Amino acid sequence: MHKPNMREARNRHKQEVLYLDCDNSIKTDKFVGKKYFLKTYGCQMNVHDSEQIRAYLESFGLIETEVLEEANVIVLNTCAIRENAHDKVFGYLGRCKHLKKAKKDVIVALGGCMSQEENVVKLVEEKYPYVDIVFGTHNIHDLPRLLIENTGKQNIEVYSVEGNVYENTPYKRDSKITAWVNIMYGCDKFCTYCIVPYTRGKQRSRRSSEIIKEVKSLVEEGYQEVTLLGQNVNAYGKDLPDEMSFAKLLEQVSLTNIPRIRFVTSHPWDFTDEMIDVIAKYSNIMPYIHLPIQSGSNRILKLMGRRYTKEKYQELFNKIKSKIPNATITTDIIVGFPDETEEDFNETLDIVNYCKFDGAYTFIYSPREGTPAATMPDNTSLEEKENRLQRLNKLVNNYSLKSNQKYYHQTVKVLVTGVSEKDSSKVVGYSEEMKLVNIEAPLNTIGKIIDVYITDCKSFSLDGKIKEQ
């Protein structure tokens, strides 16, 4: 049994690149014809990890079900970023308990970021004995072995420190059109509110040669878009002495001729001029940047450990807009950080008014055990924080709508990814600027990049019709 220790997570582990066995090595017929239920919480990193988990489960002959009660193997891939993410998972575990009572042949496995938290693992050990397997973010590749070895006795295998970079990991991708590609794991920034450096470990970049190899094979398979994934993509390569910068990597990915490239997430501190130039130069790098600001108050930014001031952010913002005029910029904002005053909050509203973001994800600060901010004094009531969030949302939604209205009666290029969820007679996709568009167009446009004439603009999506050639 290996359990997580959050204090150890601050230590850097000597890192190696390990190549997993391509043919998925471990074989068993124990699960053939049985069903699995996989629930994913959280960010794109988790969504992509679930593609790996799905590959392992299906290599055992397990078939996916959307109905929890039908499953013989249940895997919860969890998120730890805020308390409400925890609550949802514990709610699901309650349902698993009833299921285990009613039916013998069920294995419950808990993975993802919550498994990397010491306090969660302790709780699972004490109060959730029916959870059979706990695995972490650094040893997803152990899941097949843990499933085979399962005897019904709780088994916790979570690494405290991050370990190695694994190559040749199998993926069962959700889409045949757009693909996630990890370029790095973990984060070295240690923003004071954030649990990610503890649950995902220190930054480890993949070798650029491996990344390019993966993108080239996606191009051969016909993929139209890759999204390069990392907690802080701009810092790519900084942990490897002889590796290229993120700007150079973007350039190399662009030269594979994949039709579209996106990347998330960017930290303003590591965003270089070289990067802006590369994005501006290559037409297959999409003009969309997610650039979290978190707060507009320099006092709060300092307490958050963000390493920039609002003036520096504004400078970067203006530089991007001047060199890439059609770029859309979205952001993340936290309200109610410990001891945020009305004055601090008003500075956040000011920066939103200044940048007029094309979109913003807004959150109430949630204390995470083990992070420095969790012990900072905080005298603002939850009621006040909720009130601030409402005021902020009103403002950001107003700018999202305005941003969308710019496309009224314009033509945008959309990569069509599927049938619209809202209206099955329409197809759906994203424009280059990352605008969600519902389109009147035939089904055979799925997988293609088409010109779309915009006929209506809402706060969070656009409507349009295919433009006849």
Nearest to 224 by CA among 452, 415, 413, 433: 415
Q: Does 348 bind ligand 5AD (CB under 6 A)?
A: no
- Tokens describing residue 66: 């959307």
> How many other β-carbons are positioned within 10 Å of the β-carbon of residue 422?
10
**CB 97 to ligand SF4: min, Å:** 32
Touching ligand 5AD, residues 240-269 (CB under 6 A): none
Site size for ligand 5AD, by CB under 6 A? 12
Residue 76 CB, shortest distance to ligand SF4, in Å, is 22
- When CB distances are held under 5 to 8 angstroms depending on the partner's kind, the choice from ligand 5AD, ligand SF4, none that residue 82 binds is ligand 5AD
User: 76 in helix, strand or coil?
Assistant: strand
Task: Rule CB under 6 A: say whether 306 interacts with ligand 5AD.
Answer: no
178 vs 199, beta carbon nearer ligand SF4: 199
CA dihedral sign of residues 407, 409, 414, 419 = positive
Omega before 265 within 30 of 0, i.e. cis = yes
Kindly identify the residues of this chain, within the stretch 326-345, that bind ligand 5AD according to CB under 6 A. Answer: 332, 334
Q: Pick one of 37, 185, 193, 198: the residue that binds ligand 5AD (CB under 6 A).
A: 193
Residue 252 has a CB neighbour count (10 Å cut-off) of 15
In sequence order, which ranges of 187-309 are alpha helices (DSSP H)? Answer: 196-199, 208-220, 246-254, 273-281, 298-304
Which residues of this chain interact with ligand SF4, rule CB under 6 A? 187, 189-191, 194, 196-197, 231-232, 267
Query: Among ligand SF4, ligand 5AD, none, what does residue 189 contact (CB within 5–8 Å per kind)?
Result: ligand SF4
Residue 363 binds: one of ligand 5AD, ligand SF4, none (C-beta under 5 to 8 A by kind) = ligand 5AD
Residue 82 touching ligand 5AD (CB under 6 A):
yes
Instruction: Give the orientation angle of helix 342-355 with respect to helix 382-405, to 10 degrees.
Output: 10
**Quick one: 294 or 380, whose CB is closer to ligand SF4?**
294
| Chain centroid to CA 201 | 15
232 binds, among ligand 5AD, ligand SF4, none (CB under 5 to 8 A by kind): ligand SF4
Measured between alpha carbons, how far is 293 from 448 in angstroms, rounded to an integer?
34
Q: Give first-to-last CA distance, the chain, whole Å.
A: 63
Residue 190 binds which of ligand 5AD, ligand SF4, none (CB < 5-8 A, kind-dependent): ligand SF4
Q: Return the residue of 124, 194, 235, 289 that touches ligand 5AD, per CB under 6 A.
A: 194
In the region spanning residues 368 to 397, those forming contacts with ligand 5AD, defined by CB under 6 A, are 368
User: What's the chain's Rg over C-alpha atoms?
Assistant: 23
The residue (of 34 and 82) whose beta carbon lies closer to ligand 5AD is 82
Residue 366 touches ligand 5AD, criterion: CB under 6 A: yes
Which of 4, 6, 90 shows the shortest CA–CA distance to 41?
Answer: 90
Shortest Cβ 87–ligand 5AD spacing (Å): 14
Task: Output phi, psi for 363, to 5 deg.
Answer: -140, 150
Tokens matching residue 381? 């009531």
Q: Which of ligand SF4, ligand 5AD, none binds 81 (CB below 5-8 Å, type-dependent)?
A: ligand 5AD
Helix ranges (H only) for 70-170 are 83-102, 118-127, 143-149
Q: What is d(CA 46, CA 152) in angstroms, rounded to the nearest whole number? A: 26
Residue 31 touches which member of ligand SF4, ligand 5AD, none, C-beta under 5-8 Å by kind: none
Binding interface with ligand 5AD (CB under 6 A): 81-82, 193-194, 292, 294, 332, 334, 363, 365-366, 368
